Homo-oligomer: A and B are copies of this chain.
Amino acid sequence: MTSPPLRGFAQTEFEARTERAQRMMRTLEVDALLLTTEPHVRYFSGFLTQFWQSPTRPWFLLLPLRGKPIAVIPTIGVAGMQQTWLDDIRSWSSPQPEDDGISLLLSTIRELPRRFGRLGMTLGAESHLRMPANDYRLLGTELADMELVDCAKLMLNLCSIKSAAEVEKIRYVCELASDSFNALPGFARTGQSEREILCSMRIDLLQRGADHTPYIVSASGKDGYGDIIMGPGDRPLEEGDVLIIDTGTVYDGYFCDFDRNYAFGFASDKTRKAYHTVFESTEAGLAAARPGATTTDVWQAMWSILEAGGARGNDVGRMGHGLGAQLTEWPSLTANDNTALAPGMVITLEPGMEFEAGKLMVHEENILITDDGADLLSKRAAAELTVIV
């Protein structure tokens, strides 16, 4: 068993992230980046708190072209932000619905050096602004002499390449979840509901050292399941059922995201065959995932096995994705994504298929892209479907 990685990061980690971002900002000709979401504020500051569960107050981080990020945050966060490497922390007493930080944010932006007259924000695909849309419009009006420029792709690119310290945290939580999945036949049995089994697994993950499990879903049914995002259900599992559990468990702010399948009592031949096909599809993905190959190459390698194995389709919309500070990150493994894989990317391989009407089989592993190809972070699923008797 690996010992838990140190919590937090050395200051050099944040300096390196900041410098990489500032290089990209120069290329895009933006004077500053304005960030509003939890993963983005955390990425540059190290500010890690569960308080984002409260949707009431906006939080802002400004990254200028030179120097450290500047926090513009509610007073409730100042004591915490002072523990980070940031020096410039500005605050207002929030909630204050008439002006919830927006005038303070504007005055802070106006103080920044201007070279390009352009402010970067996350406006494009796979982004949202965690601030009132009216305040976003107000920024545009009040900063009439600045252009608001989309930097969503900059942030997707930046966060997609993980540092060694980030990988260590993801690898650790993948190991915890792998061990918990492997232990599951010892605490799950026919007659229990998905909800009971998932509750046991949540406890098992905590006892192994996970911080928390924001995501653990399941589905089950005779020979296969019809959905992979809605569970857990309350029906007692019966002999012949197949159960899938998919978990995004967290250590120090970093996620794993993979699933495992179990049969109860026995597994039918068609289910074993579907499991085998999807297992082989993952093998093809593992072989294809290397620097220079694209997300679409890996998708194609996996899909061709599924297609040959009788796949009727797949409603998930992709067969894998980035992973790290969020359960799912850019890029997506799809038929037309075509993102080049690069060393340092952490992604999931998630082949899945409908093998007969309403019956799905989905597998998932987490990997790091290295110069040598795929480095498994999750402990590889069993080659044959595990049967719990």
CA distance A128 to B131 in the complex (A): 5
Q: Which residues of B contact A7 (CB under 8 A)?
A: 234
CA distance A330 to B54 in the complex (A): 11
Instruction: Say whether A133 contacts B123, CB under 8 Å.
Output: yes
A202 proximal to B (CB < 8 A): yes
Instruction: Say whether B80 contacts A317, CB under 8 Å.
Output: no
Determine the residue in chain B with the shortest Cβ distance to A98.
Answer: B125
Q: Tell whether A124 pairs with B128 under 8 Å between CB atoms, given A50-B215, A76-B316, A227-B79.
A: no
Instruction: Say whether B129 contacts A124, CB under 8 Å.
Output: no
A230 proximal to B (CB < 8 A): yes
CA distance A49 to B216 in the complex (A): 10
- Copies of this chain, tallied across the complex: 2
Q: Tell whether A126 pairs with B97 under 8 Å between CB atoms, given A74-B317, A77-B229.
A: yes
A116 proximal to B (CB < 8 A): no
Contact with B along A241-257 (1 / 0, CB 8 A): 00000001000000000
* Centre residue among A56, A129, A217 by max chain B CB count within 10 A: A56
CA distance A199 to B97 in the complex (A): 36
CA distance A106 to B116 in the complex (A): 35
Instruction: Say whether B230 contacts A49, CB under 8 Å.
Output: yes
A10 proximal to B (CB < 8 A): no
Of the residues B123, B134, B334, contact of A124 by C-beta under 8 Å: B134
Instruction: Say whether A317 contacts B126, CB under 8 Å.
Output: no
Determine the residue in chain B with the shortest Cβ distance to A318.
Answer: B95
Q: Which residues of B contact A121 (CB under 8 A)?
A: 133
Contact with B along A187-229 (1 / 0, CB 8 A): 0000000000001001100110000111111000000001111
The stretch among A23-31, A268-276, A321-329, A369-377 that forms the contact with chain B is A321-329
* Centre residue among A83, A202, A213 by max chain B CB count within 10 A: A202
Instruction: Say whether B315 contacts A75, CB under 8 Å.
Output: yes
Q: Tell whether A56 pairs with B328 under 8 Å between CB atoms, given A80-B230, A316-B76, A317-B75.
A: yes
CA distance A328 to B50 in the complex (A): 13
Contact with B along A346-370 (1 / 0, CB 8 A): 0000000000000000000000000
Pick the 3 closest A-B CB pairs, nearest first.
Answer: A97-B125, A79-B227, A80-B230
A-B residue pairs in contact (CB < 8 Å), sample of 16: A53-B327, A55-B128, A55-B327, A56-B126, A56-B328, A76-B228, A79-B226, A79-B230, A97-B126, A100-B125, A123-B133, A133-B136, A134-B150, A202-B212, A203-B206, A212-B213
